[in-house]
Every structure is written in structure tokens, then in C-alpha cells.
Amino acid sequence: MDETQIYARLTEIFEDVFDEDALRITPELSAKDVDGWDSLTHIRLILTIEKAFKIKFSTSEIGNLENVGDLVQLIKARA
């Protein structure tokens, strides 16, 4: 799976989790950039991503993520 496919799937997931159709997913996007991205939503987002990509992240991997670009690289390495 290449980055374009990952970003396309993540866009669908983010739009669903945050219930916002105009959310633009970029490598620099982080929790501080999205209204409603709190700790509970973060857990829901990660669980949805794990299910969609059929992968599991460790707690330390999740803790080291700083933005969507980091997340994409982690998914790419695992998928």
C-alpha cells in the first residue's frame, strides 16, 4: 500500500471519526489543528485505524506520533 492510498483511507476515517466532511489530511496535521481531537477521540481514531488497516500499534508507537505524517509512515511500515 502506498502513501496515496493510505492518505485516501485516512481521510475517510478522519471524516467519519470527527464527523466533518471538509477535513483536509496533511502530513503536518496534528491534534491541535482539529476541533474535538481530545484523548477519547484519539483512542477512537487509533482503534478505527487499526481495524481498517488490520494492524496493531503498541502504546509506545502511539505515544511517539506527533502528526499524521508520522502515522502514515508507521502504517506504511506495518502494511
Predicted local confidence at residue 22, as pLDDT? 87
Q: What is the pLDDT of residue 14?
A: 97
Q: Which long-range contacts (CB under 8 A, 24 or more apart) does 60-68 make?
A: 66/30, 67/27, 67/28, 67/29, 67/30, 68/10, 68/25, 68/26, 68/27, 68/28, 68/29, 68/30
* CATH for 51: 1.10.1200.10
* Overall domain count for the chain: 1
Give residue 24's pLDDT: 92
Taking only the tens of pLDDT, the chain with its 79 residues reads: 899 999 999 999 999 999 998 899 999 999 999 999 999 999 999 999 999 999 999 999 999 999 999 999 999 998 7
Q: Which domain range does residue 31 map to?
A: 3-78
Q: What is the pLDDT of residue 49?
A: 98
Residue 1: what pLDDT?
A: 87
